[in-house]
Amino acid sequence: MYRWFQLTSSADLDALVSEISTEYGPTRVIEKLKNGLSSAVKAILIEKNYIDKDYRSTYYNFYAKKGQSYRADCIRLHFFDEAVTFDAQSLKLLGHSERALGDHYFGYMILRPTGIATIGRSVVSPDVRTGTSGSIITANHKVHLLGYKLGVQGFPSMDQHIDISVCAHAACWSVLRHYSEKYTIYREFLTHDITLMAQQFDPGGLVPSKGLQMSHAERVFQEAGTFPLHVVRTDPQDEAFYRQLHAYVESGFPLFAANHDVGHAMAIVGYEWEASNPNPITSMRYAWDEVKSIVVVDDNYLPYQTINKHGGSPYLAGSIDSFIVALPEKIFYPADAVDRLAPTLFKLAPLLGGLPSRDEVTLRYFITTGSALRRFTRSRESEFDPKLIATIMTLPLAQFIWIVEIATGEDWAKGQISARAVLDATASLREITPFWLFHNRTNALVFDRSRVGAGINGIGSLGLSGMQNTAFTRWDQNLRPTQRK
């Protein structure tokens, strides 16, 4: 039932073919592992007869109804580094305490007995994915193995089944499984649930393989209790589309993304910044302009496939032409509004005693919560005037807020900013001042949103001191930086 498989090089993976029977598609799995897993993985524990809830949901509702007999159980592969060994006699993992084992565990991959497209539910650490770098949206996934409780930080992935689910189902499943692991308010949906949620009625086993429409994906997210926002590129030069795509990912929302030319869907789960540009900024830039590549969970590859903005394979970030972001309720002010509003913030410069020139900065915007702003401020008390801290703690912030950060080229290189605006994510599109707060190092504008139509009387100015020489840190919070192993 358990077999320990030591690796000295990726060539050793070929021997897995003798351990895994053909219905689990070992040849293709080995090929993928050889191309996608780093040499930090030094051992694989093969767990046979594993009962996988996602495969079982499709087995009970589809495979068991077929003339061809399918097994009901799966194989689970667990990935470890060289610090862990296995005693086959006592069935114990050796080398570390249970608590420390997690530091040497890189996740798991389930193999389904379906002959084709056999890679099922998997959570693998991005740290051991070759070619992956940058920051990635992850959650902690608990793993029960041999009486140990292990954990892995990662994003869920699986191959499409082909016959009952396609790429779009797999992408919906990945996003929703991340939500159910990360946020307690979302329940878990199994593969078969996703195929049913896409339709108004039970389409039967084979209908989903005909494909999924964007409207079906939207319906899946709506059925799951989220509030999906469907954003489509207006034309190939629509840079605002990519700026907001990046903003939502920065905010910690994995995106269901589509390339309609090839009819393909994937989940966008991360990005990597360009190396700092030594040349000074000569015209206003956005955070998207500083991005080198995005990271996707695409069912054709192992998870965390890097997709470049410029040049490279398998496709370019610019080929993505629509996405769905599964938002929580109460985000009424869309990214398009923030994108248009942000450059206008410079017209408030006289009230703040000055801002850098518009042509010398990078603008970055993302969504977070009011409580996260307070936590961030509290954790960096030394960066702020106590009056500003008291203001942030006092303002009756809505649950969700947009943050706009203004950074000069010099700031950006140091991971700092020159000014930060806090917008109300529940604001209406036609509001003139959808703000809570806008401040630089010397002044803050505070907005009273307790009265409608307060106008100029609803804006207060607060002089700040002691911040001229402190760090004014760029706020990176939602994504996990990859630590390549």
Partner 1 sequence: MDQKETKSVFELIDGLTSVDPQEFKEFEKAMIEKVIPEIVEIIDKRRLKATESRHWQLKRVNIYLTHANKRRTVEE
Cβ-based nearer residue to partner 1, 8 or 313: 313
119-124: strand order across its sheet: 2-6, 43-50, 74-80, 105-111, 119-124, 148-157, 139-145
**Residue 459 makes contact with partner 1 by CB under 8 A:** yes
Closest CA to 137 of 123, 150, 149, 151: 123
Q: Tell me the number of residues near partner 1 by CB under 8 A.
A: 68
In this structure, what token pair is assigned to residue 157?
Answer: 């992935």
Instruction: Determine the residue type at 321.
Output: D
Yes or no: say if 333 and 429 are a contact pair by the CB < 8 Å rule.
yes
From the list 245, 337, 361, 373, which residue makes contact with partner 1 (rule: CB under 8 A)?
337
x/- track of binding to partner 1 for residues 290-309 (CB under 8 A): ----------x---------
In this structure, what token pair is assigned to residue 218?
Answer: 């939207």
Radius of gyration for the alpha carbons in the chain, expressed in angstroms and rounded? 24
Cβ-based nearer residue to partner 1, 46 or 345: 345
From the list 319, 336, 354, 369, which residue makes contact with partner 1 (rule: CB under 8 A)?
336
Cβ-based nearer residue to partner 1, 14 or 87: 14
Q: Tell me the window of 8-16, 65-73, 304-312, 343-351 that interacts with partner 1 (CB under 8 A).
A: 343-351
Tokens 């605006």 sit on residue = 421
**Residue 168 makes contact with partner 1 by CB under 8 A:** yes
Q: Tell me the window of 105-113, 128-136, 189-197, 444-452 that interacts with partner 1 (CB under 8 A).
A: 444-452
Q: What is the smallest separation between the CB atom of 106 and partner 1, expressed in angstroms?
A: 22
Sign of the CA dihedral with 376 first, then 106, 272, and 237 last = negative
Q: Tell me the window of 97-105, 285-293, 355-363, 387-395 that interacts with partner 1 (CB under 8 A).
A: 387-395
Yes or no: say if 440 and 419 are a contact pair by the CB < 8 Å rule.
yes
Question: For residue 196, what is the enclosing H or E element?
Answer: helix 191-197
Cβ atoms within 10 Å of 339's Cβ, excluding its own: 20
From the list 6, 22, 49, 213, which residue makes contact with partner 1 (rule: CB under 8 A)?
213
**Separation of alpha carbons 158 and 122, rounded Å:** 6
Yes or no: say if 160 and 166 are a contact pair by the CB < 8 Å rule.
yes
Give the C-alpha distances (Å, rounded to integers) separating 417 from 64, 122, 462. 58, 38, 19
From the list 391, 408, 418, 482, which residue makes contact with partner 1 (rule: CB under 8 A)?
391
From the list 68, 69, 344, 382, which residue makes contact with partner 1 (rule: CB under 8 A)?
344
Closest CA to 305 of 477, 155, 107: 155
Cβ-based nearer residue to partner 1, 99 or 347: 347
Residues 2-41 that bind partner 1 (CB under 8 A): 27-28, 31-32, 35
**Separation of alpha carbons 12 and 27, rounded Å:** 13
Helices (H), 251-384: 335-341, 349-352, 370-379
Q: What is the smallest separation between the CB atom of 151 and partner 1, expressed in angstroms?
A: 30
**Residue 313 makes contact with partner 1 by CB under 8 A:** no
**Residue 348 makes contact with partner 1 by CB under 8 A:** yes
**Residue 206 makes contact with partner 1 by CB under 8 A:** no
Sites of contact with partner 1 (CB under 8 A): 27-28, 31-32, 35, 116-117, 160, 162, 166-168, 209-215, 217-218, 230-234, 240, 258, 260, 262-265, 300, 322, 334, 336-337, 340-341, 344, 347-348, 350-351, 387, 390-391, 394-396, 429-430, 432-433, 445-446, 448-451, 456-457, 459-463
